[in-house]
Structure 1
Amino acid sequence: MGGRVARTARTSLAVMGVALGVSLLLPATPAAAHNSLTGSDPADGARVAAAPARIELRFLSRVDPATTKITVVGPDNVPAAGAAPRFAGSRVAVPFKPGKAGLYIVGYQLSSSDGHPVKGEVRFTLTTGTPADPTSPSPSPSPAAPSPSVGTALPPTGAATTAGPAVPAARSDDDGTPVWPWLVVAGLVVAGLGAVLLRRRATRS
């Protein structure tokens, strides 16, 4: 009886040891693992000549939009995200708004299912930038001096600008006949009367 109990106890201990060893060899379940980035497009460190329409990030497990923040900046720290990120399970797509050629940095920050924060970044280089913005219009030239109107004669160079005294025109009657002949006749009449008077005085004396 005692031998049978001892054998049973030894068998139970062996089974428990095997079960413990198997549990130690099994990997951790995905629920206990932290979320992490598994890939991106463009890939980290890539050099691209044609700007992609969007940037895609792929993670190990589902991404919660409420606790996820994605940023995209280009040369001179200029924002390059064309719109808000779009979430689809474990993938996040961000519309890309390219600018100058140079280094672009995609930053991400999210929370795992166990609350552990996960953050990192993806860097890629755009070798061909967008055309430069058109230059601002040049200032309009100053208005030219107004030119003389057609039909206006300019005085010749060196000509005197002041006009001489105007010669008065001979007065005339309303009908256009000159007045001076009548003045001469009147003067002759007065002179003749004066001569007659002088003769009469000389005769009386």
Structure 2
Amino acid sequence: MNAIHRRAARTAARGLVAPAAALTVVAVAAPQAAAHTELDTSSPGAEATLAGLPPRVTLTFSDDMRRKYAKVAVTGPDGESVATGEPEVQGKTVALPLDAASPVGRYNVGYRVVSADGHPVSGSYIFTVTAATSPNPSPRAARSADAPPSTATRETQASESVEESSGANTSALVGGGALILVAAAVGAYVARRRRAGHVD
């Protein structure tokens, strides 16, 4: 009976060793799987709505990136690329310069990068650019509005003033001449009446 019990105990022990080893492998592999590189933040963010296209799109990952394998693309509403250069890698951040004069509409950001420890990461998202507000007057236009009148403008204004003054003087002279003529006519009439009275 003792031999039978010993064999049963050894069999049970072997049966417990295999599951325990399997659990150990899972416990070791789980942290490694969780350590894979991910996209932490992006600017502009997914589904963002902007008043104008920013000068660059910036992606920040959970690990440092390899410059050689950083690929980022941004396409506009017409499906054409709006990038003005190559991706710029600095530690965990990958940035792509954009043409800020691109039209309004929906933009697609696609990326495929490889972290320093060899983990590839890829994905995409969309953001929207709406019509920008009317810009303020340019400094040149503002200076033109505040600047004093030019020499030609001053001469034109002076000429108009002289003409107005001349017209006023002419009207005064004409009015004065008319009064003199009326006074002379009245004086002549009175004189004739007096002479006629003396004759009678």
Q: TM-score range by the shorter chain?
A: 0.3 to 0.5
Higher Cα Rg: structure 1 or 2?
A: 1
Kindly indicate which of the two structures has a greater share of residues assigned to helix: 2
Normalization by structure 1: what TM-score? 0.47
